[in-house]
Amino acid sequence: MAGNYDDRDGKIWMDGVLVDWRDAKVHVLTHALHYASSVFEGERCYDGKIFKGHEHSLRLIESGRLLDMPVPYSAEELDAAKEEVLKANGLTNAYIRAVAWRASGPDMGVSASRNPVSVAIVAWEWGSYYGDAKWQGAKLDISKWKRPDPDTIPAAAKAAGLYMICTMSKHAAEAKGCSDALFYDWEGYVAEATGANIFFVKDGEIHTPLADRFLNGITRQTIIQMARDKGFTVHERRIRPEELSDFSECWLTGTAAEVTPVGQIGEHHYQVGQTTRDIAESYEALVRA
């Protein structure tokens, strides 16, 4: 069992240099710590190849742009840094976390344009996100929090501030014996889980919420394309909570979650059925192709 995340062996890429893991520190007056000026990526490397690594680098840069926080590296430089980190730590199957944040500097108020933006890239071995729940079908709570209106927050960014309600919802879910929570959006439609997108099956067709108000996951986009290539009809649409009882299968998608079958949401039950298995197995094959 590895130690706490700040107490491990290895190297971390920080602003262009590899530093010892335990020395990858920031000051308490880091702007991001006070004002959530931070964006990040979660990626996976399978058998030495980062799945959609370049897309993740582009998304990090776009998230920074959306927060008026230009990431000071190109996607190609970020791609190279990720490779450097994997090599320095001798990893071929790993989770990769890239993070960009407003560092400490001359400003310590809300406005921070004079503070530099820092970037770090870390990689570590990491298995299944939902552990044993994966093939039994995860049990999801329904969060009391709602995904916010995109006019109130940059909903398309993978920004730290958007995860405040995710952590709170996941804690509440775990306290009830669930492994995750489903969010509705501010208008009451089904949205996503705390770190993954959601899909449903009804009469052999696939339904997933329109991703115009929460993170349009790279895994989500991959799965939609894969399902269409397999001949499935995929509906991207608004889904009402009353419909949760109409679906026969359900799964989550995300870099960490991969394709995780869902067995239960609140009082609604789903089978880990043929479509879920087909999609999950094809995704496993694709990421290692």
| Number of residues written out for the chain | 289
Stretch that binds ligand PMP, among 107-115, 149-157, 214-222, 236-244 (CB under 6 A): 214-222
Number of residues counted as binding ligand PMP (CB under 6 A): 14
Largest CA distance in the chain: 59
Secondary structure (3-state) at 16? coil
Q: What is the DSSP letter of 96?
A: E
CA–CA separation, 97 and 94 (whole Å): 10
Judged by beta carbon, residue 217 or residue 261, the one nearer ligand PMP is 217
Closest residue to ligand PMP, judged by C-beta, is 217
Of 87, 73, 77, 82, the closest CA to residue 53 belongs to: 82
Three-class SS of 107-159? CCCCCCCCCCEEEEEEEECCCCCCCCHHHHCEEEEEEEEEECCCCCCCCCCCE
Interface with ligand PMP (CB under 6 A), residue from 141, 185, 192, 258: 192
Beta-bridge mates of residue 201: 206, 249
Interface with ligand PMP (CB under 6 A), residue from 217, 224, 247, 275: 217
Is residue 219 a contact residue for ligand PMP (CB under 6 A)?
A: yes
Judged by beta carbon, residue 158 or residue 268, the one nearer ligand PMP is 158
* Shortest distance, position 107 Cβ to ligand PMP, whole Å: 28
For residue 152, give Cα distances in angstroms to 85, 156, 192.
36, 12, 18
Stretch that binds ligand PMP, among 68-76, 86-94, 132-140, 249-257 (CB under 6 A): 249-257
Secondary structure (3-state) at 176? coil
Per-residue binding string, ligand PMP, 120-159, x by CB under 6 A, is --------------------------------------x-
Interface with ligand PMP (CB under 6 A), residue from 30, 118, 169, 197: 197
* Shortest distance, position 179 Cβ to ligand PMP, whole Å: 15
Is residue 100 a contact residue for ligand PMP (CB under 6 A)?
A: no
Report angle CA 167, 215, 93 to the nearest 5 degrees.
75
Determine phi and psi for 99, rounding to 5 degrees. -140, 140
Going 199 to 201 to 202 to 207, the CA torsion angle's sign is: positive
Residues marked active site are found at 158
Residue at token pair 């069992």? 1
Per-residue binding string, ligand PMP, 38-57, x by CB under 6 A, is ----x---------------
Is residue 218 a contact residue for ligand PMP (CB under 6 A)?
A: yes
* Shortest distance, position 253 Cβ to ligand PMP, whole Å: 6
Q: Which residues form the interface with ligand PMP (CB under 6 A)? A: 42, 158, 192, 195-197, 215, 217-220, 253-255
